[in-house]
Structure 1
Amino acid sequence: MTTYALAHLRNVAFGAEIIAYLEAIDATMAPFGGRFVLHGDGNKRVLEGSFSGDVVMLSFPSRSAAEAWYASPAYQAILPLRTRNADGDVLLIDGVDDDHKATDILQKG
């Protein structure tokens, strides 16, 4: 099942370290089958509430691939370039099957 790495980034200081991070991240994801689904502002339109910052979503073929990417020496080496220059929340979340319906979550509870 696909697992997504989702980041909500705020107060990004777009400078040399963020540029270095952006130049390096693709190579860290490649061995784990990672790819970008969303990246940055994305021409967003807020429909409800308020929202500031940027959303980044990566897709990995499995939870184990996503966890291995995040823990990899290659990604851990560049991670401080982002964390020193942006506030944010980052999480891994599993996708749902193609036939998923909203009421499926009722069976889990």
Structure 2
Amino acid sequence: MNAYAVGHLLPSAHLDDEIFVYMERIQSTLDPFGGRFLVHGASVEVREGEWPGALVIIGFPGMDEARGWYESEAYQELVPLRTRHMAGDVLLVEGVAPGYDASVTADRLRREQEQAAVS
């Protein structure tokens, strides 16, 4: 199953040169793990709630590759270039299988909840 690295980067008043170096070098850290940008620098159209900042989504073939990339020496060398100048959150998340149906998940969760209530 595909996996994703998702970054919510908060606005920064000034983009320090280290941010540009980070951006220039990040792709070379993704390549060995099959990572590719799916969303980067795009406008975010907020429909519910608030979303200050930017959204970054990087796709990977699976969680092993996503973890491997994030934990790699090459990427860890870059992390301080970003974190010294830009606050935000980064998470790794597994995608759903092809043909995923949310109603099947709802049914399973409903049964589990009913069983827990009986116990």
TM-score scaled by length of structure 1: 0.92
Matched, 1:79 2:96: no
Identity %: 43
CA RMSD of aligned residues (A): 1.3
Match of 1:32 in 2: 33
Alignment check: 8 A CA contact 2:44 2:55 kept: no
Deviation at 1:30, TM superposition (A): 0.2
Inter-partner Cα distance in structure 2 for 1:29 and 1:35: 7
**1:104–1:81 CA distance, 2 compared to 1 (3 A):** farther
> What amino acid does structure 1 have at the position aligned with 2:10?
R
> What amino acid does structure 1 have at the position aligned with 2:81?
L
Deviation at 1:100, TM superposition (A): 0.9
Q: How many residues align?
A: 108
The structure whose residues are more often strand, as a share, is 1
Runs of 4+ in 1 over 4 A off after TM superposition: none
DSSP 3-state at the match of 2:22: helix
Match of 1:18 in 2: 19
Deviation at 1:97, TM superposition (A): 1.5
Match of 2:115 in 1: none
Inter-partner Cα distance in structure 1 for 2:103 and 2:65: 28
DSSP 3-state at the match of 2:31: helix
Matched, 1:63 2:63: yes
**1:83–1:104 CA distance, 2 compared to 1 (3 A):** farther
Match of 2:117 in 1: none
The structure whose residues are more often helix, as a share, is 2
Structure 2 unaligned spans of 5+: 113-119
> What amino acid does structure 2 have at the position aligned with 1:36?
F
Match of 2:97 in 1: 97
Structure 1 unaligned spans of 5+: none
Deviation at 1:16, TM superposition (A): 0.3
* Cα shift readout 1:30-68 (whole Å, capped 9, x = no counterpart): 00000000012x122211122110000000101011101
* Cα shift readout 1:50-108 (whole Å, capped 9, x = no counterpart): 21100000001010111011111100001100111111111000111221112233326
Deviation at 1:17, TM superposition (A): 0.4
